Structure 1
Amino acid sequence: MPTPTCWCCAAAPSTAATWRTPEAYQIVTGQNVTRLCCVTSADQGLSWSTATDLTQQVIGATIKDWATFALGPGHGIQLRSGRLLVPAYSYHIDCKECFGQLCKTTPHSFAFYSDDHGRGWRFGEFIPNLQTGECQLVSVDEEDGSNVLYCNARSPLGFRVQALSTDDGAVFHGGQLVQRLVEPPPGCHGSVIGFPAPLVYVPSASRDTGTPLRGSARPLLPGALRALGHLPARQAGGAGLPAGNPHQPDEPSEDCATPGRHNDAHGVTLVRGHSAASPSPTPFFQAPTWILYSHPTSSMSRVNMGVHLSTFPRDAESWTEPWVIYEGPSAYSDLAYLELPHREAPVAGGTAIASPCLYENGTRSPYEQISFSMFTLHDVLQNIPLTATAPRHRAKRRRRSCLVS
């Protein structure tokens, strides 16, 4: 089997001298000095190639219509088809001449994509109707067997914008404001990750049976929490992650200064088993995709990093209220999704669902350090408020491990 290749794409100024040409200056003047570059690794990231400039090959003459552009930030994704997708945004020049000056630019999110393992790249169409910027993507499976590409994007409009693509990112339909997900002025980057809906295992007299959790978050979560509340910790996946696992969230280091307040972000886990292992005679269905989203929760400033859940992403009203995992100044974040083998899973092949999160934070400024939190889906379900007026469930204060930038 050939060694897989890692790809890292970035937008950067063309020369060292133009590093002093910030994005804001490019937007105002239309003097785009940004280049599309990529590096690769054939040894799982231990070493990387020199950067290759793809600007002319991929963007071509269209670059003249972009005042500037950027990728991400954060992660890209790969679809089952093999397509690589890198989220991006561009400030499109809407009017080039107004009394000798650049008149108007508008930000639009889109995606670069590759269908040949990164050898060639193209870019899709902009989200057409709303101003959108930094974004991330999720491939969303639905129970009827359909699949859509979901984009969640930063916006200066006071709320996040989401848009769907039915052709894997080549074209996005019109975006819609997500009024449950607020933006501080002039917006902030947020992260989204998707994962298959879990199974809740309810013990019976003779055997455990698996029941998929389905539906939109608002009506679904009370029942899910009741089901989880009746399960002992062992049935819910045990306390924490398996012993000896390098990803196990052990007691954090005490020599790491902790700004603000980090709310407890790890505990017992929900378990997702393979559908074939379930003894239930229920006909096969495609496990729907759930999405987690991380972002500052204030509409006024970059403070209070929170995590939201949606169990039906195409519905902009499906997002829960946030669980605040850090109280204090906080800004950009990036989520990941892990399925870790769990020795106490109630069926063979069971997994523990965990979500690592990197995020900027500090005591006076959001940019003092980068911190790491690991939490489980069970933590999310236990801590998110079920209604806008319900008190938030707070876990005990605990010092967190952190990586200082």
Structure 2
Amino acid sequence: MGNKPPKSSSPALPGEPPKTTLFKQEPDGTTYRIPSLIYISDCQTLLAFAEKRRTPRDCDAKILVMRRGKQQTGSVQWSPAQELTAACLPGYRTMNPCPVYERQSQTLFLFFICVLDNVTEGHQICTGKNKARLCYVTSKDTGQSWSNVTDLTENVIGHEIRKWATFAVGPGHGIQMKNGRLIIPAYVYYIHYRCFSFHLPLTVRPHALAFYSDDCGITWQRGEQIYFKSCECEMEEIVDQENRSYLYCNARSTQGHRVESWSENGGTAFDAPHFAPMLVEPCHGCQGSVLGFAAPQQSSDEKPNGGLTSNTKTWLLYSHPTSRRTRKDLGIYLNKSPLCSTGWGKPWIIHHGPSGYSDLTRCEEDKLFACLMECGKRSETEEIAFVEFRLRDLVNSQ
């Protein structure tokens, strides 16, 4: 770990948790975007990932960077940033970090996409010619060293790629379900109709889906797409009072509200997608993060969620900008009855001002959580900051 204390952001406003800046925009325009955060309990280590870009633009992404955090004397001490040179394909830019930890083999999988240099997402959608690759690297020592890159595009997507204008994973984090299944959230811009005369796409829509593995990450498969228009997403396992398991998906939308859906077969297919009335989106949407955790014990006479009896043993957190008009005022929401579409409470604002993408994780200590978020004073691309908070902070803010 570095000997110098981490550099902090400007002082937090009243009611906000203290922030620690992990990645900051540089004078030459170098920008860090797309935060991803994971806590590995086996070694009590936080790993924070981001894209390093020449400018804030998506097409100027270059490489992934990472910092390792350890709890020391009541605060997290962070290592210097390192570039993940293993997570690269020649001639491609690396984007959308999405880690997941496999408990049995104690292996960290870092998924990402590699996109052909100088080819934008818009160009792929307009031409219907995908230039993205599905890739991952692994680590057995919590990010101190990495394997060579594995390209899954042919084996997992195969000929179906002809109908995919482009695609990506996450961004954010994946999960491992209680039955051992690994889940990597993803989305595809699917070509529903083409002009056969010119072979150009006529109808292209985004759809969320999952990549999954049932053999500790040795082989991977893709699930079916959510038929609603849905984009960047994260997923979480929900266990109900009868111990039935559901995979919950929370996805970006351009329709003013988030899209939610559930799967009863671990992401193979999703059912009943709908808009979440309590979770608003700005006009073009924004990525958000979702995190599940075991519901605290309730006394027999206590009714959570404003009198609504909880229908699950799992509660959910969700982070996202709270404004309907623009990316600002990043908030944390709590849902004590996540199988109810109206179960979301009011957000606790943890950053007042410009804010964008974020990622949540649960830390070792009971009911201690962390969020890695894009934020700033004038623009959400100014920095990526880390905050810790407790469940009681969120509950007391209501």
TM-score normalised to the size of structure 2? Answer: 0.71
Instruction: Note the C-alpha offset of 1:96.
Output: 1.4
Q: 2:341 matched to which residue of 1?
A: 316
Task: Say whether 1:110 aligns with 2:209.
Answer: yes
For the structure 1 residues 82 and 212, does the alpha-carbon distance in structure 2 shift closer, same or farther, using more than 3 Å as the test?
farther
1:362 is matched with 376
Residue type of the alignment partner of 2:123: Y
| Alignment partner, residue 43 of structure 1 | 141
Q: Which residue of 2 aligns with 1:294?
A: 319
Report the more deviating stretch, 152-161 or 286-295.
286-295
What is the CA deviation profile of residues 234-259 of structure 1, one whole-angstrom value per residue up to 9, with x for unaligned ones?
xxxxxxxxxxxxxxxxxxxxxxxxxx
Q: In the TM superposition, what are the counterparts of 1:227-376 in structure 2 within 5 Å?
A: 288-340=313-365, 352-376=366-390
| AA partner of residue 372 (structure 2) | L
Q: How big is the shift at 1:19? A: 1.6
Residue 191 of structure 1: aligned partner: 289
Is 1:217 aligned to 2:297, yes or no? no
CA contact (8 A) 2:105 2:216 kept: no
**In 2: Cα distance, 1:48 partner to 1:86 partner:** 19
Structure 1 letter corresponding to 2:231: G
Match of 1:182 in 2: 280
Opposite residue 182 of structure 2, the aligned amino acid is L
Q: Deviations over 1:87-132 (max 9, x none)?
A: 000000011117633211000000000011111000000111x210
1:7 aligns with 2:32: no
The one-character-per-residue Cα deviations of 1:196-245 (angstroms, maximum 9, x if unpaired) are 11125xxxxxxxxxx27976623259xx9xxxxxxxxxxxxxxxxxxxxx
Q: Say if 1:216 and 1:318, in contact at 8 Å, map to a contact too.
A: no
Structure 1 position 138 matched with structure 2 position 236:
yes
Measured in 2, the distance between the counterparts of 1:322 and 1:137 equals: 20
**Equivalent residue for 1:167, pick from 265, 270, 276:** 265
3-state secondary structure, aligned to 2:155: helix
Does 2:291 correspond to 1:158? no
The DSSP-based 3-state class of the residue aligned with 1:82 is coil
Q: Any idea what SS the aligned residue of 2:319 has?
A: strand
Contact 2:312–2:338, Cα closer than 8 Å, also in 1: no
Change in 2 beyond 3 A, CA 1:318/1:2:
closer
Q: Which residues in structure 2 correspond to 1:64-83 (within 5 Å)? A: 64-83=162-181
Task: Show the 5 A alignment for 1:394-405.
Answer: none
Query: What residue is the counterpart of 1:91 in the other structure?
Result: 189
Aligned alpha-carbon RMSD (Å): 2.1
Q: In the TM superposition, what is the alpha-carbon distance from 1:339 to its structure 2 partner? A: 3.9
Quote the Cα distance in structure 1 between the aligned partners of 2:163 and 2:193: 10
- The question of 1:125 aligning with 2:125 is answered no
SS at match of 1:199: coil
Three-state SS of the structure 2 residue aligned to 1:36 is strand
Q: 1:119 to 1:180 in 2, by over 3 A?
A: same
- What residue ranges of structure 2 are gaps of 5+ in the alignment? 1-102
CA offset digits 1:47-85 (Å, max 9, x no partner): 001111111011110111100000000100001111100
Q: Which residue of 2 aligns with 1:253?
A: none
Residue 147 of structure 1: aligned partner: 245
Q: 1:212 and 1:327 mapped to 2: Cα distance?
A: 38
Runs of at least 5 residues in structure 1 that lack an aligned partner in the other structure: 201-210, 225-285, 341-351, 385-405
Contact 1:32 1:66 in 2 (8 A): yes
- Going from structure 1 to structure 2, the CA distance change for 1:2 and 1:45 (only over 3 Å counts) comes to same
Distance in 1 (CA, whole Å) between partners of 2:186 and 2:138 is 19
Amino acid at match of 2:347: P
Q: Are the equivalent residues in 2 in contact too, given 1:218–1:320 (CA < 8 A)?
A: no
Aligned equivalents of 2:300 and 2:113: distance in 1? 41
CA gap of 1:314–1:3, structure 2 versus 1, over 3 A, is: closer
CA distance in structure 1 between the partners assigned to 2:361 and 2:128 by the alignment = 35
Task: Give the 3 Å change call, closer, same or farther, for CA 127–111 of structure 1 in structure 2.
Answer: same
Match of 2:9 in 1: none
Counterpart-to-counterpart distance in 1, 2:303 and 2:161 = 43
- Greater C-alpha radius of gyration: 1
Whether the 8 Å CA contact 1:198–1:213 is kept in 2: the answer is no
Number of residue equivalences:
295
Report Cα offsets for 1:161-204 as digits up to 9, x if no partner: 1000000110100311001100002100000101111125xxxx
Whether contact under 8 Å (1:197, 1:214) holds in the other structure is no
Cα distance in 2, alignment partners of residues 172 and 305 from structure 1: 28
Contact 1:215 1:312 in 2 (8 A): no
**Cα shift at 1:144:** 2.1
TM-score (norm 1): 0.70
Secondary structure at 2:192's aligned position in 1?
Answer: strand
Partner of 1:62 in structure 2?
160
Question: Which whole-Å CA distance do the structure 2 matches of 1:2 and 1:122 have between them?
Answer: 19
